[in-house]
């Protein structure tokens, strides 16, 4: 049922539905989501096609950094790496050696190598995040990202799940206090008239 639902183009999954469909995998998905949000990546649901179905992709502005296939068991991370990024990764001393091996053996389709990482264990997640961090550093070095990745990319800060926005289409907005209309509540009509304002 999970695969048929997530691979139905007319069915756009919400976070509540994902929790139901992913079952035990949902906790792992939320942990991955937390890590990607800590890297300032914005998620949106994207149709990857009939074989992969609906899956979130994570972007900075118009640049797609990675995606997560939800219909697979275990979950599968996906990262596209072009030639310029690959050249930077070759000289990136911070990149996990296991991540380097994965992108070296990845098959190239069109202008990009597509690196797929199973997200079954903590070690798998470390490999996936190392590739993402390397790609972010490479994008900055290539002048594609205008702001350098902060040290948050190399640590693993935690985010309180309750603070996360459950809607992929909207970002969390700070509520601003409405401007005051009329006199302050500390002044009654008698005070206003006495001051010659009425």
Phi first, then psi: give them for residue 188, nearest 5 degrees: -95, 180
Q: pLDDT value at position 84?
A: 87
Q: What is the pLDDT along the chain (198 residues), one digit of tens a residue?
A: 444 578 777 777 777 888 888 888 899 999 999 999 999 999 998 888 888 888 899 998 889 999 999 888 899 999 999 988 888 899 999 999 999 999 889 988 989 999 999 999 999 999 999 999 999 999 988 888 766 555 344 333 344 444 444 444 444 444 555 555 555 555 455 544 554 544
CB 6 within 8 A of CB 18: no
pTM: 0.69
Q: pLDDT value at position 37?
A: 93
Q: pLDDT value at position 168?
A: 42
Q: pLDDT value at position 123?
A: 93
Q: pLDDT value at position 19?
A: 85
**Helix, strand or coil for residue 62?**
coil
Query: What are the E-state strand segments in 93-160?
Result: 108-109, 112-118
Q: pLDDT value at position 93?
A: 92
Peptide bond into 74 cis (omega under 30): yes
Q: What is the spatial distance between Cα 172 and Cα 61, in angstroms, rounded to a whole number?
A: 16
Q: pLDDT value at position 151?
A: 39
**What one-character DSSP code corresponds to residue 185?**
T
Q: Domain coordinates of the chain in residue numbers?
A: 2-165
């Amino acid at each position: 049922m999970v695969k048929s639902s997530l691979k139905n183009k007319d069915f756009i999954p919400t976070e509540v539905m994902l929790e139901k469909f992913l079952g035990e995998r949902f906790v792992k998905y939320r942990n991955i989501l937390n890590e990607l949000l800590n890297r300032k990546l914005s998620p949106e649901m994207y149709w990857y096609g009939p074989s992969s179905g609906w899956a979130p992709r994570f972007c900075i502005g118009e640049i797609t950094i990675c995606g997560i296939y939800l219909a697979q068991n275990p979950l599968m991370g996906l990262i596209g790496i072009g030639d310029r990024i690959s050249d930077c990764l070759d000289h990136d001393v911070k990149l996990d050696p296991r991540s380097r091996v994965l992108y070296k053996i990845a098959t190239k389709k069109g202008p990009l190598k597509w690196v797929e990482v199973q997200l079954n264990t903590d070690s798998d997640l470390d490999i996936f995040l190392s590739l993402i961090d390397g790609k972010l550093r490479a994008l900055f070095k290539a002048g594609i990202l205008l702001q350098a990745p902060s040290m948050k990319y190399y640590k693993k800060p935690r985010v309180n799940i309750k603070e996360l926005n459950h809607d992929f289409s909207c970002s969390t907005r700070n509520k601003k206090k409405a401007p005051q209309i009329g006199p302050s509540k500390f002044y009654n009509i008698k005070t206003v008239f006495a001051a010659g304002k009425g």
